[in-house]
Amino acid sequence: MAMQSSGKASIFQRFDSYQPSKSILIWACVVTAAATMIIGFNWGGWVTGGTSRTAATAAGELARGELASAICVERFNAAPDAAAKLIEFKAIPDSYKKRQFIEAGGWATMPGQTSPDRRSVDGCSTALSA
């Protein structure tokens, strides 16, 4: 008993015989490119050149501030009267006056600069307060 073929073609036969038009192929490429970009920028971690430059600048400034803070703490601790200055520093109740104390001592002024950087003073004050 042989199987009779029905009038309907199977999905595989329809797929093999399908020939899309050029406009459908072009639109499929456009939609695929758009979907790739949307997924890449929203979930893939892609960023534009401007965003990456901004992030790199911020990271560089943060690293420079941390390094300057560490140098400030080292200079403070290397001073001949460091123990007395630390007691005097910790006795100051106001954080603004603590920053002024560090600025006046000159520990936060880096070589080649005429005034201390705000980040280095803040970091130095935080580290010495701990």
d(CA 80, CA 115): 22
d(CA 65, CA 71): 10
d(CA 104, CA 77): 15
pLDDT, one tens digit per residue, over 91-113 is: 999 989 999 999 999 999 888 88
Look-up of token digits 């008993």: 1
pLDDT, one tens digit per residue, over 18-42 is: 888 999 999 999 999 999 999 999 9
d(CA 28, CA 61): 45
Residue 44 token pair: 């893939």
pLDDT, one tens digit per residue, over 64-81 is: 989 999 999 999 999 999
d(CA 30, CA 15): 22
Provide the whole-model pTM: 0.65
With beta carbons less than 8 A apart as the criterion, state whether 122 and 73 touch.
no
